[in-house]
Structure 1
């Protein structure tokens, strides 16, 4: 941690952007609660992000509801010596998602960071198949896209694919359960889910929890006026609120309104950003 701070200081010194230590602490000003959601019972759809604070206003028919529990069809062990296990929150749909490895954690965030994904199911109900004998398989995730297409995802390290007969299982399942379970099934490994892509997705989803639409509009308007790619740190200096600009850019990236240079690499304030 100390080494990272030193590197950051040296980089900012080189480009002349060492900022003074703020005398007061400022916090994000999100449009909605960062946990749970505001709803009108019997009116707000289940997968809707809920009302903004402004929409709720002084209404007396609005209630706050906590994050829903995971709908996983099987209970996973809370701990393991072999992998990281835990829970994360799909804030857009206000539901907990479980994961059994860091690869699954990153992939869950990648799905959440895609605007076209409208529903994510962790550990959906098992499917039965025959591969020499009758078996059943739990997919790690099933995603529904805005066009209604459903994809089942099996997330697994590449060095386990052969031992687990993963592709043979997927072929057997595909022959029986497509399109009843999903329209297609995909195997996802660390080749597709790199650490950089996973951490970028985590950043995007954190920014979305802090989303303030007026700040997003302000940053987008400034980018439209600039009219050409600009490094994020330069835009932060121009507007004067680095944290706000960072969150706004990631929200606009989710909205597909901006493009960040080399998105497959780890995001940093040294990347170029432009309007799409």
Structure 2
């Protein structure tokens, strides 16, 4: 059968679908943001997750992330014990853009982090390839120049290339075990980390009175809190090199 290029082109085209609306299950707060990013994409990895913060009275709330990179940034921020609340897809900021007919564009910041002291950080998330483009650099300058004090105290750019796949896997594992804190076990493992000789995580676990599972979970929580250190770009396992920060 002859190759039909037009057929292939037609097959590649997809009908636009409405954005996914995720209903909140019982006991979970609904998604609450200015923009819904849950559209179909051939390149970006959409993520939806329920997370709880002190800003939500520790009640889980649905958060949508436009990419796996945004999700990784949010996960890492959530591990900070001083983080009070997280917001995604903020109300748009209008900034001058003379290269279109309107003369302006609107930007929805990916994340806004609020800390215990009230300090707020707006986060612009992009991959390294995009950040090298001159028009992206000009856009960032224009957007940041329009960030007012009532919106955020600072605005930062985060390069998602800094989050390798092992790094993201480790973030998910740490976040999972931080949802079940056990300060007593963490203190026991931390004391062993300060008083015993070890090189690998398995050496530390062997010298700790906790069970293997308890010590493993405590190790991930200690790394998440910066009380124990390991290579974030290598998937954590019992062969991981660990040290005191």
Q: TM-score range by the shorter chain?
A: 0.7 to 0.9
Superposition deviation, residue 152 in structure 1: 1.3
Q: Name 1:254's counterpart in structure 2.
A: 224
Which of 137, 160, 171 pairs up with 1:201?
171
Question: Do structure 1's residue 181 and structure 2's residue 151 form an aligned pair?
Answer: yes
RMSD: 2.5
Question: Do structure 1's residue 273 and structure 2's residue 235 form an aligned pair?
Answer: no
Q: Is the 8 A contact 2:93 2:146 kept in 1?
A: no
Question: Do structure 1's residue 70 and structure 2's residue 36 form an aligned pair?
Answer: no
Q: Name 1:37's counterpart in structure 2.
A: none
Cα deviations by residue, 1:36-90 (Å, 9 ceiling, x for unpaired): xxxxxxxxxxxxxxxxxxxxxxxxxxxxx82322222112234322221121232
Using structure 2 for the length normalisation, give the TM-score: 0.74
Higher relative contact order (CA 8 A, sep 6+): 1
Q: 1:146 to 1:266 in 2, by over 3 A?
A: farther
Structure 2: segments with no counterpart, 5+ residues: 1-25
Superposition deviation, residue 207 in structure 1: 1.0
Moved over 4 A (4+): none
Q: 1:261 to 1:119 in 2, by over 3 A?
A: same
Q: Is the 8 A contact 2:38 2:64 kept in 1?
A: no
Q: Is the 8 A contact 2:64 2:88 kept in 1?
A: yes
Where does 1:17-56 land on structure 2 (aligned, <5 Å)?
Answer: none
Structure 1: segments with no counterpart, 5+ residues: 1-64
Superposition deviation, residue 233 in structure 1: 1.1
Cα deviations by residue, 1:195-214 (Å, 9 ceiling, x for unpaired): 23322221110111122233
Which of 51, 68, 73 pairs up with 1:107?
73
Q: Name 1:118's counterpart in structure 2.
A: 84
Superposition deviation, residue 177 in structure 1: 1.9
